Amino acid sequence: MALEFTDTNFKEKVLDSEKLSVIDFWAEWCGPCRAIGPVIEELSKEYNGKVNIGKVNVDVNPQLSMNFGITSIPAILFVKDGKVVDKLVGAQPKANFVKKIEQHIA
């Protein structure tokens, strides 16, 4: 199951992690966000133990959204060694996520 990242656990779970983290910035009211939700869940199962995959609810965690300059959702950030190494914005096919993940864990 996808992790839930928050303003309080983000540093520990993402920035301080040695693994690649894939963070889905989303909101309950966002149709495209709900559309990719199942894809994020699938990826979290497929990459369990290899990649941190989780979600940030922008309505509940506004500080994270501001820190990363999130202006459109869904926005998916790929973070490695505490730095954003890639980004996807908008609903995307699963293959696009897999391609980016593989690129950054190779």
Q: What residues act catalytically?
A: 30, 33
DSSP secondary structure letter of residue 17 = -
Residue 51 contacts residue 106 (beta carbons within 8 Å): no
Distance, in Å, from the CA atom of 96 to the CA atom of 85, rounded to the nearest integer, reads 15
Count Cβ atoms below 10 Å from residue 60 Cβ, excluding itself: 12
Q: Which amino acid would we find at residue 8?
A: T
